[in-house]
Amino acid sequence: MYRIGQGWDRHRLEPGRRCVLGGVTFPDCPVGPLGHSDGDALCHALADALLGAAGLGDIGRHFPDTDPRWAGADSLDLLTRVRGLVNEAGLVVENVDATVITERPLIAPASAAIRERLAGALGISESRVSVKGTRGEGLGPEGRGECVTVQAVALLRREASS
């Protein structure tokens, strides 16, 4: 039995913020995602896709941005925790796919490193993790460089009961 879920997240990009996406830091990027946590919109969108597929609500329910515990949180750690919730529900991740829409940073050169980090958090092989980057072509807030937006889907499989 399979279950599918989708996630969407957007964070404003601000000068001087550490730029982290998919658990990978981009030290040369002059802007980074603003957020209560580290602002890693890719991890957030994936977490929401997993939670949606499992019928477990959303990331805001599990890690509210009003809770000081999650201030500056490492979102790759949050994604690992979400994977744990999914596993506790008897589900495992079959595969995930995400599209990162942003002018900066460039995703393609880092996609292998991002896939490795996400695969580790999700407990699956890198071949089951897809991350694509695209740009806003001058249109909308992404095209103006104001934000990073991420769309993600996740497929979960119910573990065969022994």
Site residues (CB under 5 A) for Mg ion? 9, 44
Nearest position to Mg ion, beta carbon = 44
Of 123, 109, 105, nearest in space to 41 by CA: 105
Residue 39 or 105: the one with the smaller Cβ distance to Mg ion is 39
Of 47, 21, 9, 111, nearest in space to 29 by CA: 21
H-assigned helices in the chain? 41-54, 59-62, 75-88, 111-122, 140-143
Residue 44 or 117: the one with the smaller Cβ distance to Mg ion is 44
Identify the bridge partners of residue 148 per DSSP, sorted by sequence position.
11
Could you tell me the smallest distance in angstroms from the CB atom of residue 90 to Mg ion? 27
Could you tell me the smallest distance in angstroms from the CB atom of residue 71 to Mg ion? 14
The single-letter DSSP state of residue 159 is P
Q: How far is CA 86 from the centre of its chain?
A: 15
Could you tell me the smallest distance in angstroms from the CB atom of residue 47 to Mg ion? 9
Could you tell me the smallest distance in angstroms from the CB atom of residue 39 to Mg ion? 7
Residue 60 or 109: the one with the smaller Cβ distance to Mg ion is 60
Residue 90 or 99: the one with the smaller Cβ distance to Mg ion is 99
